[in-house]
Amino acid sequence: EVQVVESGGGLVQPGGSLRLSCAASGFTFSSYWMSWVRQAPGKGLEWVANIKKDGSEKNYVDSVKGRFTISRDNTKNSLTLQMNNLRVEDTAVYYCGRTYGPGPRYHYYYMDVWGKGTSVTVSS
């Protein structure tokens, strides 16, 4: 079965750090871009970051640039989101997703496999 499973969420104080993980199975992980999308409580979806198949390209939404780092280990079929200097507004459910589409650039891509999400709460 093709699936991705997130972990690592929790409660953290403002300014703190958290490391989210995403374990992939059922597909050739190294053949796909991967993405993180978040959803604040009662709000809509927001793209956070994505990473190319071989990790050579990483893209971020402006609000997390310099604070979040996306990475992957193709030998372990795993995706990571390192979140530093967390803010209250980073509170959300974070979804990991397999990312696919036509051509070499992610401009036309979409998430065709979603995990169930992991909850991050930033509060004092």
What whole-number distance in Å separates Cα of residue 103 and Cα of residue 100? Answer: 9
Nearest-approach distance from CB 118 to other proteins, in angstroms: 11
| 8, 53, 74, 114: which one binds other proteins (CB under 8 A) | 114
| 41, 44, 66, 75: which one binds other proteins (CB under 8 A) | 44
Nearest-approach distance from CB 124 to other proteins, in angstroms: 28
Secondary structure of the chain in HEC code, one letter for each residue: CCEEEEECCEEECCCCCEEEEEEEECCCHHHCEEEEEEECCCCCEEEEEEECCCCCCEEECHHHCCCEEEEEECCCCEEEEEECCCCHHHCEEEEEEEEECCCCCHHHCEEEEECCCEEEEECC
Q: Which stretch binds other proteins (CB under 8 A): 16-24, 57-65, 70-78, 81-89?
A: 57-65
- Nearest CB to other proteins, comparing residues 16 and 39: 39
- Nearest CB to other proteins, comparing residues 16 and 40: 40
- The residues of the shown chain that bind other proteins, judged by CB under 8 A, are 35, 37, 44-47, 50, 59-62, 95, 101-102, 106-108, 110-112, 114-117
